Amino acid sequence: MPKEDYTFFPSEKKTEIAELGGDKLKAILRQMLLIRHFEIRGEAAYQQGKVGGFFHSYLGQEAIQAACIAVAGKDHWYTTTYRCHALALLLGASPDALMAELYGKATGVALGRGGSMHMYAEHMLGGLAIVGGHVPIATGAAFALRYLKQKDRLSFCFLGDGAVVQGAFHESLNIASLWSLPAIYVIENNQWGMGTSVERAVAVRPIATHYAKAYDISSYTLDGMNFFSCYAGFKAAVGEALSTSRPILIEVVTERFRGHSISDPGLYRSKEDLKKIETKDALLHLKATLIEEGIVTAEEFAKIDQEEKERVLRAMQFAEESPWPDPEVLEQGVFAPEEGEDATR
Ligand SMILES: Cc1ncc(C[n+]2csc(CCOP(=O)(O)OP(=O)(O)O)c2C)c(N)n1
């Protein structure tokens, strides 16, 4: 099915603006700008050889997780993939500690041991790198919520379109439906799994509509390039999940502005394609709407933008000046038997 045939969850824009109010909308704009500057500067640090390992940018997808947290708040369980910097920022981890983690420094959120793919924050179960492998973890968190009768909390799982063809995803949806687990699975369909297009990898589209039907749960399809569509859709989905305690499958159609990771030159997309994609920028769309509606002026926007850029530059300085991990602590926090201990017990 061509993507033009997608019908997105309706949003009025006016309704969401009235509901959120100017202050909250400005705070959301600020969060999206923080994510953007973090990704741009982190990428630059990587290119200067200051960051090692992998680096998967969330540029282009900011509206999705920003809208989700704006709707649901931080007091749930959240699980995501290696494309995890934004979620950690949104859940309140400090940009200093996240940048230090990128640099592999001892002051990082994972003490410099995880790097780009393993960011953490309160209520964030990962930053996990096995495609589809984190979906059962989120499902387990949903099981825990049901077991502990925490009815006002949900388990959110962000995954890519590439993960929906993994067995773990289907096993999770099946058990979540059978056991009525309060989980919201969010497929961030950025249309590529590394260099493989979704058309070549996934047999059904819209993805959420089809798979939700298969597992007897409800589904939503959102426009990831429109903050208001994301906000309206997440609001409806979260309301439904809290009232039914049933799992929900969401597909958000989005665009990633960069290659799969920093080492991917993205030769499968032409420069013209990329230019076209960047005209759909959800951040610029939100900025334009807020200016149009008289919620921010162009000068105010420039000020917020500058402040968030400076926030990230301070984080880089913090990371640069932070110490390297002490090799003495290498074995701390590692799950391994003591010498002579039976590892199978
Ligand atoms: C089980 C497994 N197989 C393969 C890989 C290598 N790999 C890393 S990311 C990726 C593509 C995943 O794409 P998608 O789920 O669409 O997420 P996106 O990167 O687009 O956010 C692959 C194949 C892996 N990490 N884990």
Model confidence over 31-47: pLDDT tens digits? 999 999 999 999 999 99
| pLDDT of 1 above 50 | no
131 CB less than 6 Å from ligand 1?
yes
Tokens 């994972």 sit on residue: 110
106 CB less than 6 Å from ligand 1?
no
Tokens 């991990």 sit on residue: 325
Give 163 Cα–ligand 1 centroid separation in angstroms. 7
Give 201 Cα–ligand 1 centroid separation in angstroms. 12
Contact between 43 and 64 (Cβ < 8 Å): no
For residue range 83-109, what is the model confidence (pLDDT) as tens digits?
A: 999 999 999 999 999 999 999 999 999
Give 162 Cα–ligand 1 centroid separation in angstroms. 6
Q: Tell which residue, 314, 254, 261, has the closest CA to residue 280.
A: 254
165 CB less than 6 Å from ligand 1?
no
| Amino acid letter for position 327 | P
Residue of 59, 128, 194 with the most ligand 1 atoms within 8 Å of its CB, for mutation: 194
Q: Tell which residue, 238, 207, 210, 233, has the closest CA to residue 220.
A: 233
162 CB less than 6 Å from ligand 1?
yes
Tokens 């209520």 sit on residue: 123
Rounded CA gap, 86 and 127, in Å?
10
**Contacts of 293 by beta carbon, 8 Å cutoff, 6+ apart:** 17
Find the mean pLDDT for residues 321-345.
Answer: 84
193 CB less than 6 Å from ligand 1?
yes
Torsion of CA 319, 322, 328, 329, to 10 degrees: -50
Contact between 283 and 63 (Cβ < 8 Å): yes
For residue range 198-247, what is the model confidence (pLDDT) as tens digits?
A: 999 999 999 999 999 999 999 999 999 999 999 999 999 999 999 999 99
| pLDDT of 343 above 80 | no
Tokens 């990831």 sit on residue: 224
192 CB less than 6 Å from ligand 1?
yes
Measured in whole angstroms, the distance separating CA 124 from the mean position of its chain's CA atoms is 11
| pLDDT of 344 above 90 | no
pTM of the entire predicted model? 0.96
For residue range 255-307, what is the model confidence (pLDDT) as tens digits?
A: 999 999 999 999 999 999 999 999 999 999 999 999 999 999 999 999 999 99
Give 25 Cα–ligand 1 centroid separation in angstroms. 33
Positive or negative: CA dihedral 51, 54, 60, 65:
negative
CATH class of 3-322: alpha beta
Residue of 65, 131, 255 with the most ligand 1 atoms within 8 Å of its CB, for mutation: 131
